[in-house]
Amino acid sequence: MEKVTEALVPGSDIVVPPPGPPERYRATVLDEEISFLGLKALLGAADETKAGDRNAGLAAKSARHREAARTILSSLTLRHLYDHPLTDDDGNVDSVMRVNYAIDLAVFAEIESLTVGGLKNHLLRSPGATIARVGKALTGVMAAALAKICDVHELIFLARRISRPTKARTNLGLPGTLSSRLQPNHPTDDLRGISLLLYWGLSVGAGDALLGINPAIDTVENVSGLLRHLDKLRQKTGVPTQICVLSHIKTQLACLERGAPVEILFQSLAGTEKTLTSEFDVTVELLDHGYRTMREKGPLGPDARQFMYFETGQGSEFTYGKHHGIDMTTTEALCYGLARRYDPFMVNNVTGFIGPETHLDNFEMIVSNLQDHFMGKLLGLPMGMAPCFTLHSHITLEGQQMATQMLTAAGANYYMDVALNTDRMLAYFDTSGHDDQTLRELYGKRVTPEYEAWAIERGIFRKDEDGSLARGPNWGNPRLFLSSDAELQGLVATTPALHGFENAGPRPADEVSRRVRLHQAVGREATQSELRVGELQEVVDFRVIATEAPSKEAHLHSPHLGARVAAADRAALVPEHRKVQILVSDGLSAEAVHHNAGDLLPVLLDGLNARGIPMGKPILAPNGRVKLAEDVAELVQCELVICLIGERPGGDALASRSLSAYLVYCLREDETRRRAVAFSGNPEVRFEVTVISNIYAGGLPPLEAGGAIAEKVFEVLERRAAGNRLEALLLA
């Protein structure tokens, strides 16, 4: 089939009704009148209670108020929702909301008089083709409203009836299939470790959707190297699939211009323009440019009907404080309305990735995933799901497994293959190839046809006499792709958190599972650890400050508190006008600070002093978050803050000691800020950030990290840029 050639509708040509003042919505329950001012408040109150919405003050006050809000919402017509676009904090319709109004107006004219409840009834009585047709006429707000009045059975029933197949090199989402995206992430992008994790994933039947790496280092040079390595492994193994490195879209486009095999173009999305531009450094215009570039120059050529890949997940807009009073489910639906514009090959939902500030426990994560899957498929997207968790939340492996059972029943296109559920670089816990295979066997699912033929030929799968697909003699054996046991052991030596290759049926052997769970337990304990100030004062003479987080629990569950210096300490941080300020905080693991500071800080200080860089006295801040660096920068008026902070624990027990360095550059000079605005498309940009992560004994050793951070500081100060703009300047 030929590649999609439809032109993107310019944003200026998308008609959006002018927003008006908020309406008052009322319902009477017994002798109580319950009211909500504005559609945003009504939508928030109608949802299941979730940590992010509670923290934002959007959740219903009680079950009675929630059901009253649902009753009102159910009675509103689709035309009413159409006529009341949600606005940003300044009362304007932003670019993400505008794109959501690019709907099939002819179909909308047929259904506009239906209430939200009437729409639900209509869809429950309709075949899948009708549901899919109606979805083309809905905005994200309409999809969110519908999701909020559906129960679990209805979310699963409706989503199950919608089929959203796509095609790149291979076909994804065909009926009866359950695919996986193989994610061989490595904390230092070591190509040997990536190879082992990829071979292991292929051996358990994973990767038929995509071979995709999240890079630890987002530079054109590194991402190009990863792309070429993935392409080499794809050709070596002969596996029929496609490849992607999930770096920033600007990095990938630069790689494509230099001839790297960018087969699928990736970007994370947000449901408000302010989050998209300020935090993700992306605009709708940039996404349009990426789509057009891939349509013209993508290496898969006419073989691919689709070539874009987006990741989303409830909560990022709230976490960054740029949700404009819109609840998490609705902003997530707005992401899908944006993604739909580009007819993507795949969309992956990672609700649960952020932490307890958005989703506290298993129930909140599970119901959000079911909502997201339903809304995405309804709006026309090929939904893959990644119900996931971090160790500082109350979400567990059991909750994740419950979510995958229900999402498989709902017809999810694919899951992730993160070996033994443990992401060694991003420090979170996702689905695994073992999970994918278990669910295939439970629900009678297969891999993509092209991959199935390849895997049968290599003994990974076999066909039984009745035609069903079963595990073959080589299932779960990564040695299949290697020339010798010695080669396997060489790769093993470079890869953390392996825990063991042994299997029992489609599951990891019990001894392997016990190791995984023990390491998770150690990581959970690290999130509760406290900074031992006296010990750290022996390394460096710190000045110690407090944040607004009064306790460890408040710090973990409300990140905004750790992003501000406490009122009592603000007066002590006066403008010093030094170039560099070092800030050390626990973040999500005080153990990371204690196991790295002694080696790292002396090397870093020596390196900065050798260059004669003026520094403020180092600051130590218990219960701090990365955004605290911005507050400190404004108070002491420095050019650059080096924020050394504990990462969230993940991987193996050793990874609970992993530190990151955030180099937060302040855009103070008018000309520097002008260039940053031009590069990012964000007129409000105030800081640029470069990150050096995975600093610990199993990643970048702290002694080496001290020197690496110092060198990167020199580049930031010399070029007067950080983040993607710095990398672009270094390539020029």
Residue 356 in any domain: the answer is no
Which residues are CB-neighbours of 100 under 8 A, at least 6 positions away? 139, 140, 141, 334, 337, 338
Q: Tokens 């439809």 belong to which residue?
A: 6
Cβ neighbourhood burial of 595 (10 Å; 0-12, 13-18, 19+): buried
Range of the domain at 581: 533-731
The neighbour count for residue 29, using CB atoms within 10 Å, is: 12
The H or E element that residue 438 is part of is helix 433-443
What is the β-pairing status of strands 383-385 and 346-349? Answer: parallel
User: What pLDDT shows up at residue 4?
Assistant: 42
The neighbour count for residue 354, using CB atoms within 10 Å, is: 23
Amino acid (one-letter) located at 262: V
User: What pLDDT shows up at residue 731?
Assistant: 86
Per-residue pLDDT tens over the stretch 603-645: 999 999 999 999 999 999 999 999 999 999 999 999 999 999 9
Residue 546 in any domain: the answer is yes
Residue 718 in any domain: the answer is yes
Which residues are CB-neighbours of 255 under 8 A, at least 6 positions away? 220, 223, 224, 227, 245, 247, 262
How many DSSP H helices and E strands does the chain contain? 31, 22
Residue 553 in any domain: the answer is yes
φ, ψ dihedrals at 476, nearest 5°:
80, 15
User: What pLDDT shows up at residue 1?
Assistant: 33
What is the β-pairing status of strands 619-621 and 580-585? Answer: parallel
| CATH code of residue 674 | 3.40.50.11240
610 contacts 634 by C-beta, under 8 angstroms = no
Residue 725 in any domain: the answer is yes
Residue 696 in any domain: the answer is yes
Distance CA 372, CA 37 (A): 26
Structure tokens at 84: 């009341």
> Could you tell me how far CA 82 lies from the centroid of its own chain?
29
Buried b (16+ CB within 10 A) or exposed e, 193-224: bbbbbbbbbbbbbbbbbbbbbbbbbbbbebbb
Residue 600 in any domain: the answer is yes
φ, ψ dihedrals at 400, nearest 5°:
-60, -45
Distance CA 471, CA 110 (A): 49
Residues in the chain with pLDDT values less than 50: 1-5
Amino acid (one-letter) located at 519: H
Amino acid (one-letter) located at 214: N
Distance CA 615, CA 141 (A): 49
Q: Cα dihedral sign for 714, 718, 720, 724?
A: negative
The C-alpha torsion from 479 through 483 and 486 to 490, rounded to 10°, is: -80
Distance CA 658, CA 411 (A): 37
Structure tokens at 179: 């695919």
User: What pLDDT shows up at residue 6?
Assistant: 61
Domain count, the chain: 1
Residue 513 in any domain: the answer is no
Distance CA 74, CA 711 (A): 58
Q: Residue 505, SS3?
A: coil
